[in-house]
Amino acid sequence: MGSEPIESKPSATTVCVCFPLISIPRVPTSSHGEGFRRPSIRSVLLVAEMVDAMKKVAKLDVELTVEERNLLSVGYKNVVGSRRASWRILSSIEQKEESRGNEHHVKNIKEYLQKVELELANICTDIITLIDEHLIPSSTAGESSVFYYKM
């Protein structure tokens, strides 16, 4: 082994190496049974960081590997999924508060619902723009293009 530095050109893969697959520990609970997985704030933040990192990689206008495509897809799926879950919960609470006649609570919930809807719209616009402007134009394999169209 020599002490010569290894020179390499950064690629999409080297950018993603610092983001290991997210593992959420198994948490036994009586109400959910053995094996229920409770997401932590850390795991949610890691998903957001992974999405940001993969977005930067996609903007390099290079063909993504299968693993990179999957990281991008799963990351956006999780980010969108959490907003959709928030929207469903808020919508349910809004209906309950309306039936109770708590107009002040309903007003606050509607404002928060609008914020969640705006976040969701921005995330969706973001990935559609990324796909249209960077990923599809830089994909050379038919499999990649089909993957992006399905997203």
Comparing 107 with 16, the larger pLDDT belongs to 107
| pTM of this structure | 0.68
Count the residues in the chain.
151
Could you tell me which CATH number the domain at 20-150 has?
Answer: 1.20.190.20
Separation of alpha carbons 60 and 88, rounded Å = 36
Secondary structure of 81-126 in the HEC alphabet?
HHHHHHHHHHHHHHHHHHHHCCHHHHHHHHHHHHHHHHHHHHHHHH
Quick one: pLDDT at residue 40? 54
Residues ≥6 apart with Cβ < 8 Å to 91: 113
Quick one: pLDDT at residue 47? 84
Contact status, residue 15 vs residue 56, Cβ threshold 8 Å: yes
Tell me the domain boundaries of the chain. 20-150
Quick one: pLDDT at residue 16? 37
Contact status, residue 41 vs residue 66, Cβ threshold 8 Å: no
Contact status, residue 90 vs residue 104, Cβ threshold 8 Å: no
Residues ≥6 apart with Cβ < 8 Å to 19: 46, 49, 50, 53, 71
Q: Is 1 helix (H, G, I), strand (E, B) or coil?
A: coil
Quick one: pLDDT at residue 28? 38
